[in-house]
Amino acid sequence: MAKGRKSRMDLRREAEALEAKQREEETEGEETEDEDEEEEDSDTEGDAEAEGEGDAEGDADAEGDGDSGDDDGDDEDRPKKKKKVKKVAVKKTTTKRSRTAKEVRTRAVWIVFDNGSKVVEKFPYNQKEEAEALLAKKLEEKKTFYLNLVKEEIKE
């Protein structure tokens, strides 16, 4: 790997660690909200007891109901806690469009190359005889030339 770059594995581990940290923060936030609701519930119960202190018989009746073991009545008096369900974001699958490659127009040409693969001369496809004649002439001078058919892009 190049100096200073991270591998995919390292990047993936970092991303997963970040996601886990965010999940923990979300769950901590939900717990504190639940605790706040419990405190509010206890405050309302304390207010109800404070209002009923002047009536001694009302306290005795309230205590008697709690001792009888009838839990159904208690559930109706207290507001029910709503459990928060974590909503999972569902990602929509996107269809990937494949772009069609732009058609590049090409034409065939005969090219005479030297030993260093440098172009000596180009000839259109229908002038193969002229290309071979030049090649023969160059081969008499030196023996390091060759002829090749190449497709080149047509520039408009």
CA dist 61 and 75 (Å) reads: 17
Identify the band that residue 123 occupies on the pLDDT scale cut at 50, 70 and 90.
Answer: very high
Tell me the domain boundaries of the chain: 9-77, 106-153
4-25 tens-digit pLDDT: 788 888 999 999 999 999 988 8
Amino acid at site 120: V
Q: What is the pLDDT of residue 81?
A: 67
DSSP state of 115: T
pLDDT the model gives residue 151:
94
Asked if residues 107 and 125 have their Cβ atoms less than 8 Å apart, the reply is yes
Q: Which two tokens stand for residue 85?
A: 């369900």
Whether 136 shows a pLDDT value over 70: the answer reads: yes
CA distances in angstroms from 107 to 4, 71, 118, 124, 143, listed in the order given: 45, 91, 20, 9, 28
Residue scoring higher pLDDT (56 or 16): 16
Q: pLDDT confidence of 125, banded at 50, 70, 90?
A: very high
Q: Which two tokens stand for residue 148?
A: 């090749």
C-alpha–C-alpha distance, residues 14 and 32, integer Å: 27
Percent of the chain beyond pLDDT 70? 61
Find the mean pLDDT for residues 97-115: 88
pLDDT at 50: 47
